[in-house]
Amino acid sequence: MTIELTIFRTGAVKLARSNFTPWLAAPGRDELVECPVWSALLRTPEGLIVFDTGLHPVHVERPEATFGANPSMVITMTGEDAIVGRLAAVGVTPDDVTVVVNSHLHFDHAGNNRAFPKATFIVQGEHLAYAKGRPNFPAIYWDDPALRYMPASGRARVATGIEVVPTPGHAPGHQSLVVDLAETGRVVLCGDAAFTRANLERGEIPGEDPVAGTESLALIRSLVRDDLERAFPSHDPTTFRPGTYH
């Protein structure tokens, strides 16, 4: 049995293009676009792995539930986006999942961590320390003593053919997931190290540390040998390709 990767939508956010690609000129930069939020399921000989847990379904009825009403960033999540339902549709319950990897702990990447009480969570130790207690990493979604976090330190094996690689810039200790697929080849689930394909093409991304962000984009490009079809950015409405990969 080899690795099977399934990518599915776990929410969406409407925001101005300039949030991700600030170099755009007007009027394109101000255009509001609906950007996907997604998660991935990896079926492996060593068990089921989930990458990022998406937005919490509280946002279906109350888009402003976490950060209040903000006309420049509107959550447009549907009931179908809830991760538990998405997993059920492919025959998986949260308790079947042995490992969850969070790229980082923002609410659109760790929103459903508490749905996986049986899993081991792999997050960079540096990121865990950074996120703890910060209001822009709302604790309600992830900081639960019932959850078992295993802090990683740098590049680390998750399973055969799957490893986390630090890709800081968006936040300290941000990480991406590198997966070696039998047919597709090596893919990188970027997390917010790359919001869009354009970030990878240009080698530029806004974030807490833009210099580190540029280095991380170069690392991702080298990991996929510049075949950007094999790098999956976090929120790109144009290149988002839900589906199953082998």
Q: Pick the stretch among 27-35, 111-119, 175-183, 184-192 that binds Zn ion (CB under 5 A).
A: 184-192
Of 126, 163, 192, 236, the one binding Zn ion by CB under 5 A:
192
Q: Pick the stretch among 56-64, 129-137, 138-146, 187-195 that binds Zn ion (CB under 5 A).
A: 187-195
**Which has the closest alpha carbon to 54: 13, 132, 108?**
108
Least distance from Zn ion to the Cβ atom of residue 113, Å: 15
Of 33, 40, 60, 108, the one binding Zn ion by CB under 5 A:
108
DSSP character at residue 136: T
Using DSSP, state whether 11 is helix, strand or coil: strand
Contact 197, 17 (CB under 8 A): no
- Count of residues that interact with Zn ion, criterion CB under 5 A: 3
Least distance from Zn ion to the Cβ atom of residue 234, Å: 5
Q: Does 52 bind Zn ion (CB under 5 A)?
A: no
Least distance from Zn ion to the Cβ atom of residue 106, Å: 5
Q: Pick the stretch among 65-73, 181-189, 210-218, 229-237 that binds Zn ion (CB under 5 A).
A: 229-237
Least distance from Zn ion to the Cβ atom of residue 185, Å: 25
Burial of residue 238 (number of CB atoms within 10 Å: 0-12, 13-18, 19+): exposed
Question: With b meaning 16 or more CB within 10 Å and e meaning fewer, what string describes 90-118?
Answer: eebebeebbbbbbbbbbbbbbbbbbbbee
- Of 143 and 192, CB closest to Zn ion: 192
Residue 22: Cβ within 10 Å count: 12
- Of 3 and 188, CB closest to Zn ion: 188
- Of 3 and 171, CB closest to Zn ion: 171
Burial of residue 180 (number of CB atoms within 10 Å: 0-12, 13-18, 19+): middle
Report d(CA 226, CA 23) in Å as an integer.
Answer: 22
Least distance from Zn ion to the Cβ atom of residue 235, Å: 6
Q: Pick the stretch among 22-30, 102-110, 178-186, 209-217 that binds Zn ion (CB under 5 A).
A: 102-110
- Of 175 and 234, CB closest to Zn ion: 234
Contact 73, 32 (CB under 8 A): no
**Residues near Zn ion, by CB under 5 A:** 108, 192, 234
